[in-house]
Amino acid sequence: MNVVVVDGRGLEPPEPFERAMEALADLAPDHLLVLRLDRVPYPLLRILDRDGYRYDWQDGGADGVTVRIAPPGMQLPEENRPCH
């Protein structure tokens, strides 16, 4: 599986959101997007729900939040995380 990683940690809003949206727009149907962020991106999660993406996220404390996103129709690889 091909993985695209976007690291938005340390960036001021709205840049992490904008980078995430650009990466989603360019995401191939067989690729997984991994976002590294300073906080849970609730506005982005609402968009993912609306548009049928599969995702999960994990809070890594001081290391920030990791969000994995799969395009509609693709399943996330198995991990011990809650899926949405």
Residue spans of the domains in the chain: they are: 2-70
At residue 81 the predicted structure's pLDDT band, cuts being 50, 70 and 90, is low
Residue 74: pLDDT band with limits 50, 70, 90: very high
Contact 55, 48 (CB under 8 A): yes
Contact 10, 54 (CB under 8 A): no
Per the document, the length of the chain is: 84
The pLDDT value given to residue 78 = 85
**Side-chain-side CA neighbours of residue 17 (13 Å):** 12
Mean pLDDT of 46-67: 97
- pLDDT mean over 58-74: 96
On whether the pTM is more than 0.85, the answer is yes
- How far apart are alpha carbons 37 and 81 in whole angstroms? 17
64-69: average pLDDT: 98
Give the pLDDT mean for 59-84.
85
Q: Which CATH class is domain 2-70?
A: alpha beta
One-letter amino acid of 75: Q
